[in-house]
Structure 1
Amino acid sequence: MVRTKAVRLRNSAIAFAILTGLATSAAASRDEFRVCADPNNLPFSNSAEAGFENKLASMVAEHFGQKVAYTWWTQRRGFIRNTLKVGQCDVVMGVPEGYALVETTKPYYRSTYVFVSRQDRKLDLSSLLDPRLHYLAIGVHLIGDDGNNPPPAQALGAEGIVDNVRGYSIYGDYRQANPPARLIEAVETGEIDVAAAWGPLGGYFAQRSAVPLNVNPIRDYEGFAPQQFQFAIAMGVRKGDHALRDRLNAFIDAHRSEIASLLRSFGVPLLEQPVTASGGHE
């Protein structure tokens, strides 16, 4: 009898603790704008909250009357699965519009891949059909050996431009700051003549380079379909979280000029884009 009563008390205490914990968690989520982010990936985000996605998260949180709370995770394969999908956080600040693993908001900017070169070289490259690409030392980011590499790497390969192309891992050595920046640093030092990089990354590090660099949007890419060189970027929430998606859409619509100013201050090359309604991409 005594033992049965003790078990009942113990179970009641456990249940109370669980309920209290859930209530505390729910209250915290109401007070917090919970963001999934990479702690070492400027210009997008880092643990010092110095990236433009960090700044944008702060803008959103202030508008919502909340504080930003981060779940830090290296943005590689498994990022969404280990953060957003398991409920550790509620929003990823930058994903391609229509990204299949999340539900996306309206895009808040559109950018393009660019060529980055030293100003003193006077290369002024912008076309994938420029014959100089057959002999210049070209740097590109590489993601892996499974064929899932960025559009410039695949387009150059399709043109038979291979022997003079050097790959730089976009993941790099994570013990160093901002591993993707090694590609732009190679242009600065003259290790390569030109880099083909995602615009926000190329623009940011070129803007802060000790050596003056040119950043030119890549054109003449139409013949390289299905490769895509321009992307609309949105925020991503868990599938089915229409309430948060809609609140973020409203924020984006009301603050487009401020968002554009923020992005320009980080050197992000911006393209015009139509304002479209979110389809709640599945």
Structure 2
Amino acid sequence: TLEYVWRPQRRGFIRNTLRAGECDLVLGVPTSLELVAATRPYYRSTYVFVYRKDAKFDVRSFDDPVLHELKIGVHLVGDDGANTPPAHALSSRGVVGNLRGYMLYGDYAQPNPPARILDAVASGEIDLAIVWGPLAGYFAPKLNVPMEIVPVTPQVDVPFLPFVYDISMGVRREDTALKAEVDSILDLRRGEVNAILDEYGVPRAGLAPRGEQP
């Protein structure tokens, strides 16, 4: 019997769900996540720039000089100020004083807390946000102003800060039979999986060859 278990995706998520026996399979985990046995990737996505279509700029790269002049929103992971990859990329280029942090997890008494950063772009509170692609692909089209969604470049910052990640499903490490079964289903129903990703607006990059995932 199929059952769904819903929990906020905060720190300790895997410990409180998969490892606690509340579920057997977790969707949407990085293929490199060592806390689980990851299936084959079922998509690869990227961080993206999000800004209004009527903006007076056209940002495509972390190296664009205009980033020094814009109000830029980035996600913060926790109260300790842990940074996401885009924040590190901007900091390494001296883009610091014009950044605004938005909590990735936020207040779960409010609907869709990670999307607050996109609301800020729509309202003009910030000029541009840099967020994980699937978040932007789903929420940006629902805003009251048209948005531009642009994959960031480069895909990997020197020496090794990737912005593109392969995404898998995760099972407990000892559940080898379940992992093999899910891998088989993902291969068999690849077209249906891709159709669902399209429906939810997930921006996708080509999957890396096996063994080359970041």
Q: TM-score, normalised by structure 2?
A: 0.93
**Which residue of 61, 64, 71 maps to 1:130?**
64
**Amino acid corresponding to residue 18 of structure 2 in structure 1:** L
Say whether 1:169 aligns with 2:108.
Answer: no
**Match runs of 1:40-189 below 5 Å:** 67=2, 69-144=3-78, 146=80, 148-189=82-123
Say whether 1:230 aligns with 2:164.
Answer: yes
Does the 8 A contact of 2:155 with 2:164 survive in 1?
A: no
Quote the residue 2:137 is aligned against: 203
- SS of residue matched to 1:216: strand
Aligned equivalents of 2:139, 2:35: Cα separation in 1: 29
**Amino acid corresponding to residue 139 of structure 1 in structure 2:** G
**Amino acid corresponding to residue 162 of structure 2 in structure 1:** Q
Aligned equivalents of 1:71, 1:115: Cα separation in 2: 32
**Amino acid corresponding to residue 12 of structure 2 in structure 1:** G
Q: Cα–Cα, structure 1 residues 274 and 223, in superposed 2: closer, same or farther, change >3 Å? A: closer
Aligned equivalents of 2:85, 2:157: Cα separation in 1: 12
- SS of residue matched to 2:162: coil
Quote the residue 2:184 is aligned against: 250
146-155 vs 234-243, which moves further: 146-155
Structure 2: unaligned runs, 5 residues or longer: none
Q: TM-score, normalised by structure 1?
A: 0.71
Larger-Rg structure: 1
CA deviations on 1:148-191 (whole Å, 9 max, x unpaired) are 42100111111111110000000111111110000011010011
Does the 8 A contact of 1:128 with 1:221 survive in 2?
A: no
Structure with the higher helix share, 1 or 2: 1
Structure 1: unaligned runs, 5 residues or longer: 1-31, 33-66, 278-282
CA deviations on 1:171-220 (whole Å, 9 max, x unpaired) are 11111111000001101001100000000001111122220000000012
Deviation at 1:122, TM superposition (A): 4.2
- SS of residue matched to 2:135: helix
